[in-house]
Amino acid sequence: MSIRRLTGILGLLALLACLSLATVAAQEPIVIKFWSHDYPPREAIDRDIIARFEQDNPNIKVEYTIGPGDDFQYVPQLLTALAAGEGPDLFNVLTFLVPDLIPDGAVVPVDAEAAGYASQEEIINSYLPGVLETMIGVDGQLYALPTELGNYALFVNTALFREAGLDPEKDIPTTWEDLMALAPKLTKRDASGNIVQRAFDFSYPIPDEILGGGIAFQGMAHQLGGEYFNEERTEGRINTDAWVKTYTFVRDYAKEFGGMALTPSSIGFYEGNVAMLLSGPWYLPQLVEANNPELAKDVITAPFPRWKEGLVNDGGSALYAYGLHVNSQSSPEVQEAAWKLAGALTSEPERYFSEALLLQPKLSLTENEELMQGSFAAMFIRDMANSPSLPSLKNFGELPGIMNRALERILLEDMDVQESLNIANDELTALLAKE
């Protein structure tokens, strides 16, 4: 065989190999790595939507991973993975991370067309006014699609009310002052003076407490005109009268009727020894029905209490939101596919609402009167009006730490409320300076 012929055959073989590789590459599915936090009722719906999405898009495969435990564990793992270049393509996370994510270019703006909309404006207009504000960057672009907008309301164990001779319909407190006045009637102590049943308790920074106290405290302070910082975001405002009154109330209640030394109220409630607590709608399936299904039939909810004296803003607890973000390190094809999946995951808000008690705050859902009427979660939505959002700050973990230490100084070291909040305010101002 001549050299020329051999070269020709080899060249032909190389060409065939390239063509077949290109064909294989074209058929290679796009893989989306998708992470979300742990909430089993939502996960079941997610998986169902993903299965249908994969059927409709045979060239896209989704690897769905549920992050470990609570946000305290999930968020560090997510950030570490993003930093190492091993992060998911699409992830669901609390939106107060946004100030850390957007300026550093970790996430990309929403691809409206891929998500099934004509423009970002159309997306914004399809949601409740203002709820996407925390997901918009300084460049005016939308960076996330919300999977959950949440707030806290009062959960009431009606059996304990009746046992104390109270009418659960009429005697549920609507104000903080009423709540304090009602406490002696629902509090039980043993012979040694230990509290064995609590009327109500806040969430404190203690082990096993899964509810965030800050969501309630911010709402209480906001009702009195309080805010975390000034408009310019240069100085803290957590040592004002509104915050002092809020923390004084919490201290006075904890000293007399509850406190950090007791079982977390999120556990005590489903154990049947706490008559009232503040939580989100997810608390019913996630904790009450999962741990004490018998109790669930005795549970009703009521709006977040207001202040009788000094009410400035008639709003509920602080609002928190989770949103779907897309990793900037993913390839453009994967980013597009990820936004397409995000669009699918936010296209059935009615189902998330009725089956998982999660509010994807779309107008199509909130204007659905048939679904809203008689819904357990509808009251939570009504209570969102005039409520503040959790603040978004860089170095997301520092603010809860500042607020927790302020409360602990007051409750554990008997420090004067004003003095403790002055310290916290200095810490917050220093944190704002980092921005």
Partner 1 sequence: MTMQLRRRWSRWWDTFNIYHKHSLWGLAFVLPGVLFFIIFAYYPVLRAAQLSLTDYNLLSPPRYIGLGNYQFIFQEGSRFYKALVNTFEFVGGYAIPMWILALALALIFTQDFRGRGVYRTLYFVPIVLSETVISIVWRLIYHPQGIMNAAVAPLTGGVKIPWLTDSNIAPIALIIVAIWRVFGYYMIIFITGLQNIPGEYYDAAKVDGANRWQVFRFVTMPLLRPTTVFVVVITLLNGFQSFVYQFLITRGGPNDATTTLGYLIYEEAFPNLNMGRAAAISMVLFAMLIVLTFIQLYLLRQRYDT
Provide, rounded to whole angstroms, the least separation between the CB of residue 177 and partner 1: 27
Question: Is residue 43 a contact point for partner 1 (CB under 8 A)?
Answer: no
Among 206, 296, 311, 372, binds partner 1 (CB under 8 A): 206
The interface with partner 1 within residues 222-241 (CB under 8 A) comprises none
Site string for partner 1, 128-167 (x = CB under 8 A): ----------------------------------------
Structural contact between residues 430 and 393, judged by C-beta atoms closer than 8 angstroms: no
Could you tell me how far CA 37 lies from the centroid of its own chain? Answer: 10
Give the Cα separation of 247 and 237 in Å (integer): 14
CB nearer to partner 1: pick between 73 and 119? 73
Nearest alpha-carbon partner for 200 in 152, 244, 129: 152
Provide, rounded to whole angstroms, the least separation between the CB of residue 207 and partner 1: 6
Question: Is residue 83 a contact point for partner 1 (CB under 8 A)?
Answer: yes
CB nearer to partner 1: pick between 289 and 408? 408
Provide, rounded to whole angstroms, the least separation between the CB of residue 237 and partner 1: 21
Provide, rounded to whole angstroms, the least separation between the CB of residue 215 and partner 1: 17
The interface with partner 1 within residues 396-435 (CB under 8 A) comprises 396-398, 400-401, 404-405, 408-409, 412-413
Dihedral sign for Cα atoms in the order 352, 356, 361, 364: positive
CB nearer to partner 1: pick between 238 and 406? 406
Q: What is the 3-state secondary structure (H, E, C) of the chain?
A: CCHHHHHHHHHHHHHHHHHHHHHHHHHCCEEEEEEECCCHHHHHHHHHHHHHHHHHCCCEEEEEEECCCCHHHHHHHHHHHHHCCCCCCEEEEEHHHHHHHCCCCCECCCCHHHHCCCCHHHHHHCECCCCCHHHECCCCCECCEEEEEECCEEEEEHHHHHHCCCCCCCCCCCEHHHHHHHHHHHCEECCCCCEEEEEECCCCCCCCCCCCHHHHHHHHHHHCCCCCECCCCCCECCCCHHHHHHHHHHHHHHHHHCCCCCCCHHHHHHHCCEEEEEECCCHHHHHHHHHCHHHHCCEEEECCCECCCCCCCCCCCCEEEEEEEEECCCCHHHHHHHHHHHHHHCCCHHHHHHHHCCCCCEHHHHCCHHHHCCCCCHHHHHCCCCCCECCCCCCCCHHHHHHHHHHHHHHHCCCCHHHHHHHHHHHHHHHHHCC
CB nearer to partner 1: pick between 72 and 291? 72
Question: Is residue 192 a contact point for partner 1 (CB under 8 A)?
Answer: yes
Among 162, 395, 416, 435, binds partner 1 (CB under 8 A): 395
Question: Is residue 215 a contact point for partner 1 (CB under 8 A)?
Answer: no
Question: Is residue 262 a contact point for partner 1 (CB under 8 A)?
Answer: yes
Q: Kindly determine how many residues on this chain lie close enough to bind partner 1 according to the rule CB under 8 A.
A: 41
Q: What is the 3-state secondary structure (H, E, C) of 219-242?
A: HHHHHCCCCCECCCCCCECCCCHH
Among 3, 26, 118, 191, binds partner 1 (CB under 8 A): 191
Question: Is residue 85 a contact point for partner 1 (CB under 8 A)?
Answer: no
Question: Is residue 82 a contact point for partner 1 (CB under 8 A)?
Answer: yes
Question: Is residue 188 a contact point for partner 1 (CB under 8 A)?
Answer: no
Provide, rounded to whole angstroms, the least separation between the CB of residue 408 and partner 1: 4
Nearest alpha-carbon partner for 123 in 140, 134, 110: 110
Provide, rounded to whole angstroms, the least separation between the CB of residue 136 and partner 1: 19
CB nearer to partner 1: pick between 56 and 104? 104
Provide, rounded to whole angstroms, the least separation between the CB of residue 184 and partner 1: 21
Axis-axis angle for helices 349-356, 40-56 (nearest 10): 150
Provide, rounded to whole angstroms, the least separation between the CB of residue 128 and partner 1: 29
Provide, rounded to whole angstroms, the least separation between the CB of residue 262 and partner 1: 6
CB nearer to partner 1: pick between 366 and 392? 392
Provide, rounded to whole angstroms, the least separation between the CB of residue 259 and partner 1: 8
The interface with partner 1 within residues 94-113 (CB under 8 A) comprises 100-101, 103-106
Question: Is residue 68 a contact point for partner 1 (CB under 8 A)?
Answer: no
Among 24, 85, 190, 373, binds partner 1 (CB under 8 A): 190
Can you give the binding site for partner 1, defined by CB under 8 A? 72, 75-76, 79-80, 82-83, 100-101, 103-106, 190-194, 204-208, 259-263, 394-398, 400-401, 404-405, 408-409, 412-413
